[in-house]
Chains A and B, each alone.
Chain A
């Protein structure tokens, strides 16, 4: 890691980044960086940047580095060296072109997966440093178009997918009607005061994957859970603003989410199978607002399913008998340690489980996380080719017989679908909820 890095400033065209660059001056770039370094670059930034000795031990942890034939530019420490280091060293006096390249690195060459933290002898969190670069990019208005559009949706609708207030309610009622065709006494209780559980989801569920809400309702019904869903904004737990560097909007989203549960007086929030949203509600967003932990217990679907099976709330009509493997999502495994609970649920519901390697907290990221997939089509090829090791890992599991990948995270689904398709792996991807829905006794079923 002592040799100098190539100084290739070529970047992928992006309307958001290019449009912002056209309006920026080096003076404004310097001023914004100086302000942020002074006001927000506290002890954590200083310790991380001044402690790194560029030993390179983080390199082998990074799927981008491994997948790009160990190109040193993709080593985690090198990403800092290409972005934040010159900004600090030159006190913000970097060019607009430099910022474009820094923006591309921070937004599309790091999934903020925190795998490298485990390999750093000092525990330096590179994802924090990349988020700091993104924070600078946000304050310069230089954010990839697709994810910025998502951030705008968050601000205007308080959800990720421009879902309007009536569309949300209508979707829930539609899913309830659909589910009642199968289970006549099923309900999706809206705005119920004092329920044990508020169930929250991410924007793409009502928009593209409404059947997941249906499945969740069936699982809640079968387990006899006292639950509700809100009919107001605050239902969406997702948060791309956390990844665009818009901390203020992230805080607003988390406030409305938690206060919705407080208004409904639910005892806890159970969330669907999403990783990044969990990071936002359990770690980053809540703390930005001053809550040391989530103000109400925040339970990820993996943990919830685990509880239901552990406590005998669900019984099985059959076991899922297609051999499968598990992809451990970064944010709920490295971020929360839910990997054994996921395996408990799989062993309960499936006949043949095949571990992929590495696994648990050492698993490779799907390549979609950290908002990378949300940066959209301009970066899709780079993203998928930057995660060849994931394809190799999946192929090895497939060689042992796995035909299905369980990925209890929405972004992981998107990322793995792209990898499976690009590398022609011919594997199916499922949520844990898909398996549970398929296998449980559902109660009164309308024939």
Chain B
């Protein structure tokens, strides 16, 4: 069901009596909530060491020796990693894949939620598996699984050259590559990290170490012509296929595009850069000086700083606004467009922009209670558990998904008229 087809009627829906689950089952693990807010699920222990999943009070028919990492995909379909007699697989909506593995982990959803991939291991050999179908090839090690948006490709760092324990010089020749749908790149590297597909899934970029001292970005197996002291995660331009990445040169960090520096201003640190949807704007988390953290938009740092950290950068859909989470002296805050919202919290989650870019909401925690801020102002309701707020596609409403206080323990889905809140 598309975002706009979700129930956006104003009001409160009582979805599940989560508190009651704790009375029914020996163990109830951390609940998860579907993106549309209509389903609450948790792994529960129905008998001694026998587990199932409870969705809105209804148990899956299947039970397993172990279930973990239940997560809803973007289409609100629930998947979990399940094991019976030491054989592992992925179960989606109570339906386990036929294929089983010695271990399976790190599940990923395609952008629409129609495909699920995971890393898998059988008899010490590793590959990736999508919708129950594994790569043809397997490798002695695999890490950093990545999935293309449309779910048709998966990639991971794989070991392509065997080396014995302690054979440091063989390692330094380069024994790792990236495999896309099981097929490795032609070249090997000392290390690869942070594989990232282009938005159309046609290209794959990665951080690479080519010698003990030289770092670069590799795109579809080809290194950039320049090398650097270090690099961070590469990102594709949303439209033109170019790749940008933070690079370190002479002890300072810059932003580079296809190997050439494009942000001439050096930073003490620069990472987690993001494009606006149209690719016009780039924002990044930067440290202009030691212990001074902020956001830079198109290389220009905000005047606002945080001393502890900045994290959870978000760019508005129109590309004109930027928000982040910052922390100074252990007190967390939301900052939007170079201004910090007034209050401070024990924890703050990534700010969410409305589709029209006019509003910002964020989940925050203070003294063990969770609530939502909208444009800096708190909603009245507080919760014992809360998930990120969701704006309606027309930006007029806000969905809040939370479990009410311990006495009630109901999971509820609220839809508010945004004009009433702001």
Contacts and interface: CB of A to CB of B under 8 A. Distances in A.
A85 interface: no
Contacts of B293: 290
A157 interface: yes
A97 B334 CA distance: 57
B143 A145 contact: no
Contacts of A155: 190-191, 209
Given A139-B213, A169-B105, A170-B103, A262 B230 contact: no
B251 A146 contact: no
B347 A193 contact: no
Given A231-B69, A291-B291, A292-B291, A165 B230 contact: no
A157 B168 CA distance: 15
Interface stretch (B1-9, B198-206, B254-262, B303-311): B303-311
B365 interface: yes
A267 interface: yes
Given A164-B143, A191-B69, A267-B346, A148 B168 contact: yes
B125 to A, nearest CB: 11
Interface in B103-125: 103, 105-106, 119, 121
Contacts of A156: 141, 143, 171, 176, 191
B287 A290 contact: yes
Interface string A246-273: 1010011001000100100101000000
Nearest to B327: A295
Contacts of A291: 291, 308-309
B241 interface: no
B143 A165 contact: yes
Contacts of A255: 271
B330 interface: yes
A194 B336 CA distance: 23
B143 A19 contact: no
Contacts of A191: 69
A381 to B, nearest CB: 19
Contacts of A267: 346-347
B143 A194 contact: no
Contact of A165 (B26, B106, B215, B268): B106
A75 to B, nearest CB: 32
A386 to B, nearest CB: 24
A146 B212 contact: no
Contacts of B308: 291, 293, 295-296
Interface in B298-324: 307-309, 311-312
B307 A292 contact: yes
B64 to A, nearest CB: 13
A146 B167 CA distance: 9
A152 B169 CA distance: 10
Interface string A269-292: 000000000000000000101111
Contacts of B166: 15, 145-146, 149
Contacts of B105: 165-166, 169, 231
Contacts of A26: none
Contacts of B48: 184
A262 B212 contact: no
Contacts of B250: 39
B42 to A, nearest CB: 12
A19 B169 contact: yes
B27 A187 contact: yes
Interface residues of B, number: 55
A191 B187 CA distance: 34
A247 to B, nearest CB: 9
B347 A194 contact: yes
A192 B251 CA distance: 36
A124 B349 CA distance: 44
Contacts of A401: none
Contacts of B251: 39-40
Contacts of A192: 30
Interface string B13-28: 0000000000000110
Interface in A1-55: 15-16, 19, 39-40
A292 to B, nearest CB: 3
Given A265-B349, A290-B269, A166 B103 contact: yes
B165 interface: yes
A138 interface: yes
Interface string B121-161: 10000100000000000000111000000000000000000
A428 to B, nearest CB: 30
Nearest to B269: A290
A173 to B, nearest CB: 7
A289 B116 CA distance: 35
A185 B143 contact: no
Contacts of A265: 347, 349
B307 A246 contact: no
Interface string B181-209: 00000000011010000000000000001
A202 B141 CA distance: 20
Most-contacted residue by chain B among A164, A189, A193, A246 (CB, 10 A)? A164
A146 B166 CA distance: 7
B369 to A, nearest CB: 12
A248 B69 contact: no
A185 B27 contact: yes
Contacts of B29: 187, 189
Contacts of A173: 66, 68
A225 to B, nearest CB: 14
Contacts of B312: 262
Interface in A224-239: 231-233
Most-contacted residue by chain B among A141, A166, A190 (CB, 10 A)? A166
Contacts of B349: 265
Most-contacted residue by chain B among A39, A156, A185 (CB, 10 A)? A156
Interface in B68-123: 68-69, 103, 105-106, 119, 121
A297 interface: yes
B171 to A, nearest CB: 5
B270 to A, nearest CB: 10
A155 to B, nearest CB: 5
Contacts of B229: 248
Given A156-B171, A169-B105, A259-B311, 7 more contacts: A148-B168, A156-B176, A190-B68, A193-B30, A232-B106, A246-B212, A290-B290
Task: Give the 9 A-B CB pairs with smallest separation, nearest first.
Answer: A292-B291, A295-B309, A290-B269, A290-B287, A166-B103, A248-B230, A290-B268, A148-B168, A155-B191
